[in-house]
């Protein structure tokens, strides 16, 4: 697949525009853009790179340090672009390489860094390698770049082992010549065989291609999945999905992945400007996550243990302590996250008791979820390290839980097993204006329908409105930049607090989060910087409403 080539690779002066903050990634706030749902420049109902480029000033004004772009590569879109057919081309639905180049350059001029998604565990079944592997048949060299195997049973009619797809059903598909190929996700996403040297060679070349374009880093999809256990042994469990993220599995979190990332780090360190790697690594413990961010490997790893924690003071303190303790020996920053494109938005998640998932029953539930989400955001941004913000959470967007079946596109939904299949709910295009066919997303509607209630959640409706969620985020990110005790670090000093309340000090900064359903009275800690709800003070005491976080400074 060929496209127009950018005029020239980004030179060091371009990178230097955003390179003034050394070790920037240790305290960075990074904003995830899901391109198909962010902004549509041409009215086709699908977001694109030019749309993202047009909204970069909004992200600068929000106060984030970098933008992470979910995949925009050439793809049949069987899994929203995580099935890549050409890693060096932009899918026409998003634009072309010139658009990518312009976006990177504009971001740098606005002092925003750009991180792009990389999908090394699997390709699309329309990737040239895989198409040739099918055509050339059993025993061909191209098949060795994937996991092709004969089946079990008298006539090879059974899969080679008992592994299940993350999206449900067997992790193997049989082709016409009788062999089977491995796909830990959809059948359209065959897994690469990372034991083959050509795979490593190819991805080091892909890294250099995008680094030469000027990107500031890579978020590595399924970073824990590249290496499979020798012999592809049976797992022996009939409920494999419950083991995900809870146990070491023969296809996830194998120790061999770390040799790959040490090789990649050598490539990255050839480039100026402090480029970084971010791992999507689902591991059983934060201690195993820390293995990915040792000094000669990756820079950050998403803290999924934190993301999966309920709005509960005791549970939150446990995961915060374990995270900081695990990261300290390897010298890596903790990386906090509350939402992304694969999970229920936390404004919805926190609205329900554990186990209810995306069920929103009343307006009161929605209000509770938003109140807790705002408080959780201030808690997250007060913790030592880096933080990630998923597009639309700064607007307080909930999941859209009532999408008609006919508009859904999540492949897990159609397989009827595996993941819950409702990731479309957190991927609905975000609202920019009160009016219009898609609330300012684009002139031609949106690829997933938006609720009418989103008019008042739009950027336009919240801008300049005291107490709005958008202004809370802007104020929090501004305060985070201005307060010397916020951002990078590896420890907090816990303070005495009532049950259900978290309180900690970082230098002259104090954060208190009330996770209970009742107001609490605590000692004041100086001057209030910011709070997620209305805090009243008198006679040296402060009254915090239910589900509220407050920031103080003693300076």
Closest CA to 315 of 502, 187, 170, 450: 502
Query: CA distances (Å), 252 to each of 35, 192, 228, 277, in order?
Result: 28, 14, 7, 19
Catalytic residue among 128, 201, 230, 270: 270
Whether 221 sits among the annotated catalytic residues: the reply is yes
Whether 297 sits among the annotated catalytic residues: the reply is no
Catalytic residue among 27, 179, 221, 410: 221
Q: Give the dihedral of Cα atoms 519, 522, 526, 531; nearest 10 deg.
A: -20
Distance between CA 335 and CA 357 in Å, rounded?
Answer: 24
**Look-up: residue for tokens 């907090």?**
492
Distance between CA 444 and CA 154 in Å, rounded?
Answer: 55
Whether residue 178 contacts residue 157, with contact meaning beta carbons closer than 8 Å, is answered with no
Distance between CA 510 and CA 500 in Å, rounded?
Answer: 17
Three-state DSSP at 499 gives coil
Q: What are phi and psi for residue 550, nearest 5 degrees?
A: -130, 145
User: CB under 8 Å to 16, separation ≥6 — which residues?
Assistant: 272, 273
Distance between CA 186 and CA 282 in Å, rounded?
Answer: 18
Q: Where are the beta strands (DSSP E) in 284-374?
A: 300-301, 335-337
CB atoms within 10 A of CB 385: 23
What is the distance, to the nearest Å, from the Cα of residue 24 to the centroid of all Cα atoms in its chain?
19
Whether residue 275 contacts residue 241, with contact meaning beta carbons closer than 8 Å, is answered with no
CA atoms within 13 A on the CB side of 252: 26
In this structure, is the dihedral angle defined by the CA atoms of residues 400, 402, 407 and 413, taken in order, positive or negative?
Answer: positive
Catalytic residue numbers, as ranges: 221, 270
């Amino acid at each position: 697949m060929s496209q127009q080539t950018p005029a020239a690779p980004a030179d060091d002066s371009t990178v230097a525009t955003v390179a003034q903050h050394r070790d920037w990634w240790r305290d960075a706030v990074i904003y995830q853009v899901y391109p198909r749902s962010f902004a549509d420049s041409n009215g086709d109902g699908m977001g694109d790179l030019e749309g993202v480029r047009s909204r970069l000033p909004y992200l600068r004004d929000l106060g984030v340090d970098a933008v992470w772009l979910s995949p925009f590569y050439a793809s049949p879109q069987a899994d929203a672009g995580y099935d890549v057919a050409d890693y060096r081309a932009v899918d026409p639905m998003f634009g072309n390489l010139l658009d990518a180049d312009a976006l990177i350059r504009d971001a740098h001029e606005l002092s925003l860094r750009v991180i792009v998604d990389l999908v090394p565990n699997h390709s699309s079944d329309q990737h040239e390698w895989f198409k040739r592997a099918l055509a050339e048949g059993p025993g061909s060299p191209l098949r060795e770049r994937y996991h092709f195997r004969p089946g079990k049973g008298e006539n090879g009619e059974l899969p080679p082992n008992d592994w299940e797809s993350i999206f449900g059903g067997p992790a193997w598909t049989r082709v016409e010549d009788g062999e089977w190929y491995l796909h830990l996700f959809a059948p359209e996403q065959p897994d690469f065989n990372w034991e083959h040297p050509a795979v490593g060679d190819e991805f080091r070349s892909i890294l250099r291609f995008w680094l030469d374009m000027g990107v500031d880093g890579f978020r590595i999809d399924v970073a824990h999945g590249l290496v499979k256990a020798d012999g592809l042994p049976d797992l022996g469990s009939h409920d494999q999905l419950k083991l995900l993220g809870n146990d070491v599995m023969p296809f996830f979190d194998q120790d061999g992945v770390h040799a790959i990332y040490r090789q990649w780090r050598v490539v990255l360190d050839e480039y100026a400007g402090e480029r970084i790697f971010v791992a999507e690594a689902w591991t059983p413990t934060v201690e195993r996550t820390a293995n990915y961010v040792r000094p000669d490997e990756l820079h950050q790893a998403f803290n999924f243990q934190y993301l999966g924690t309920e709005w509960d003071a005791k549970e939150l303190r446990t995961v915060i302590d374990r995270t900081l303790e695990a990261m300290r020996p390897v010298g890596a920053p903790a990386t906090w996250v509350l939402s992304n494109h694969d999970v229920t938005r936390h404004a919805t998640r926190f609205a329900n008791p554990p186990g209810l998932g995306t069920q929103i029953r009343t307006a009161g539930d929605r209000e509770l979820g938003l109140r807790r989400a705002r408080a959780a955001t201030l808690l997250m941004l007060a913790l030592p390290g880096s933080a990630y913000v998923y597009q639309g959470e700064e607007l307080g967007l909930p999941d859209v839980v009532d999408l008609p079946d006919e508009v859904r596109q999540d492949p897990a939904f159609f397989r009827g097993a595996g993941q819950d299949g409702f990731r479309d709910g957190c991927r609905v295009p975000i609202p920019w204006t009160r009016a219009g066919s898609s609330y300012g997303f684009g002139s031609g509607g949106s690829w997933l329908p938006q609720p009418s209630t989103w008019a008042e959640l739009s950027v336009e409706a919240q801008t300049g409105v005291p107490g709005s969620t958008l202004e809370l985020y802007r104020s929090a990110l501004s305060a985070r930049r201005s307060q010397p005790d916020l951002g990078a670090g590896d420890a907090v000093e816990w303070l005495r607090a009532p049950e259900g309340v978290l309180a900690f000090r970082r230098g002259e900064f104090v954060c208190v989060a009330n996770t209970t359903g009742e107001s609490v009275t605590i000692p004041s800690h100086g001057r209030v910087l910011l709070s997620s709800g209305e805090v009243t003070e008198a006679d040296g005491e402060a009254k915090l409403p239910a589900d509220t976080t407050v920031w103080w400074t003693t300076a």
